[in-house]
Amino acid sequence: MKSWGLCVTALLLAAVAAGCSSQPTPEKVAAAAAQPTVIPAPPRAAATALEIPAVLMVEHEVDVVAEHDGEVMELAADEGSKVAAGAILARLDSRMVEARLEQARADLKVAEYNVKYNEAELHANQSRLERAQLMFKEGLGSKADLDTAEFQAKGSAYDLESWKANVEKHHAEVKSLELELQKTRVSAPFAGVVSRRYVRQGDVVAKGTKCFRLSQLSPLLVDFQVPETDAHKPAIAQPVKGTLLSDPGRWFDARITRVSPVVDAASGSYDVTAELVNPAAELKPGMAVRIAWPTPSSPHP
């Protein structure tokens, strides 16, 4: 019994000592204040859309090439110039073509004059033939005179047809040279802006040489690919949103205008084209963007 009492007493003393040691002391408070407070970071939000890289573009953007050999005599447009369809961008040396065209037009006039002369000659010879036929019928003319009149009338008719063919030939030559002269002028195939100039005044270019790059400014389009396995299938007129790669905080709206009827075997994706709706003036073709395509857990944009 005595030993059991001693054990109980020892346990009570240990409990009191533990209680006393748990009371905060100035040293413990200062040590606790020195420790940094750690706040757990909030869980990272799950992605709500698939970010698809793309580039802004326009429907028409072409390199305008020279259609004739020659020296660049004049530049009528430069980078940044807005031009109408058919506007002249540059002129090549056309002096040789102009000289040949002038000669062809002169030859055409000669042929036309000869047609008029042969028309008059044919009319006179037909009148002689009619008189010869009448005189031969009345016995006042010989068969030889009649044959001569017939020969002259037929010859005049053949000469007239020959000169008429010459007129058509010279007309064709003049038209061909006029087209060749037109090719010495580098023209805009559509209205747009000159985004690049490849040639300088004085350059000698060959047929097919790139001279300018011409781009439309609107409508702005964006081409991107949507995975075929994605639950949200692209559809015509479906709205989409995009952001600039250089400024992720700026968004733009677009609407799908074209969906490829086939799936690209290499990427397993659809080719999709969307047209920007009321794009800001600072948006330009060639800018890198990202299209936010909704995932199954996110609503349609």
User: Cα separation of 57 and 258, whole Å?
Assistant: 14
Average pLDDT of 185-196? Answer: 94
Tokens describing residue 99: 């000289």
In this structure, are 267 and 283 located in the same domain?
yes
In this structure, are 65 and 211 located in the same domain?
yes
Q: How many CB atoms lie within 10 A of CB 90?
A: 24
Average pLDDT of 266-294? Answer: 90
In this structure, are 200 and 277 located in the same domain?
no
Q: What is the CATH number of the domain that holds 67?
A: 2.40.50.100
Choose between 35 and 148: higher pLDDT.
148
Average pLDDT of 34-41? Answer: 42
Choose between 256 and 280: higher pLDDT.
256
- The per-residue pLDDT for 121 is 92
Does residue 111 register a pLDDT over 60? yes
In this structure, are 226 and 168 located in the same domain?
no
Is 195 inside any structural domain?
yes
Does residue 37 register a pLDDT over 70? no
- The per-residue pLDDT for 300 is 52
Average pLDDT of 142-152? Answer: 89
User: Cα separation of 269 and 238, whole Å?
Assistant: 17
Give pTM, 2 decimals: 0.61
pLDDT in tens, 64-76: 999 999 999 999 9
User: Cα separation of 58 and 284, whole Å?
Assistant: 9
Is 237 inside any structural domain?
yes
Q: Decide: residue 128, CB within 10 A, 0-12 exposed, 13-18 middle, 19+ buried.
A: middle
Q: How many CB atoms lie within 10 A of CB 182?
A: 13
Question: Letter for the amino acid at 63?
Answer: D
With bands split at pLDDT 50, 70 and 90, how would you rate the model's confidence at 40? very low
Q: What is the CATH number of the domain that holds 273?
A: 2.40.30.170
In this structure, are 195 and 71 located in the same domain?
yes
Cβ distance 290 to 245 under 8 Å?
yes
Prior bond to 219 cis, omega within 30? yes
Is 32 inside any structural domain?
no
Strands in 61-65's sheet, in edge-to-edge order, are 61-65, 210-215, 192-197, 82-83
Does residue 42 register a pLDDT over 50? no
Is 146 inside any structural domain?
yes
With bands split at pLDDT 50, 70 and 90, how would you rate the model's confidence at 25? low
Is 240 inside any structural domain?
yes
Domain count of the chain? 3
- The per-residue pLDDT for 15 is 46
Task: State which of 165, 196, 215 marks the end of a domain.
Answer: 215
Q: What is the mean pLDDT of the chain?
A: 84
Q: Decide: residue 192, CB within 10 A, 0-12 exposed, 13-18 middle, 19+ buried.
A: buried
Task: State phi, psi for 265 to the nearest 5 degrees.
Answer: -65, -35
Secondary-structure percent of the chain, ordered helix, strand, coil, rounded to 5: 40, 30, 35
End-to-end CA distance of the chain: 84
Domain extent for 228? 50-58+218-294
Is 202 inside any structural domain?
yes
Percent of the chain scored above 70 by pLDDT?
A: 82
In this structure, are 189 and 82 located in the same domain?
yes
DSSP characters over 206-223: -TT-EEEEEE---SEEEE
Is 199 inside any structural domain?
yes
Is 75 inside any structural domain?
yes
In this structure, are 54 and 173 located in the same domain?
no
In this structure, are 230 and 287 located in the same domain?
yes
In this structure, are 253 and 129 located in the same domain?
no
In this structure, are 202 and 159 located in the same domain?
no
Does residue 220 register a pLDDT over 50? yes
Q: What is the dihedral sign for C-alpha 165, 171, 173, 179?
A: negative
Cβ distance 184 to 92 under 8 Å?
yes
In this structure, are 99 and 178 located in the same domain?
yes
Does residue 262 register a pLDDT over 50? yes
Does residue 261 register a pLDDT over 70? yes
Least confident span in 97-111, 177-191, 201-215, 228-242 = 228-242
- The per-residue pLDDT for 297 is 56
User: Which ranges of the chain would DSSP assign to H, the alpha helix?
Assistant: 2-21, 26-34, 95-137, 143-183
With bands split at pLDDT 50, 70 and 90, how would you rate the model's confidence at 172? very high
User: Cα separation of 232 and 224, whole Å?
Assistant: 14
Which residue's structure tokens are 């005049």?
A: 156
User: Cα separation of 286 and 283, whole Å?
Assistant: 9
In this structure, are 127 and 70 located in the same domain?
no
Task: State phi, psi for 220 to the nearest 5 degrees.
Answer: -80, 135
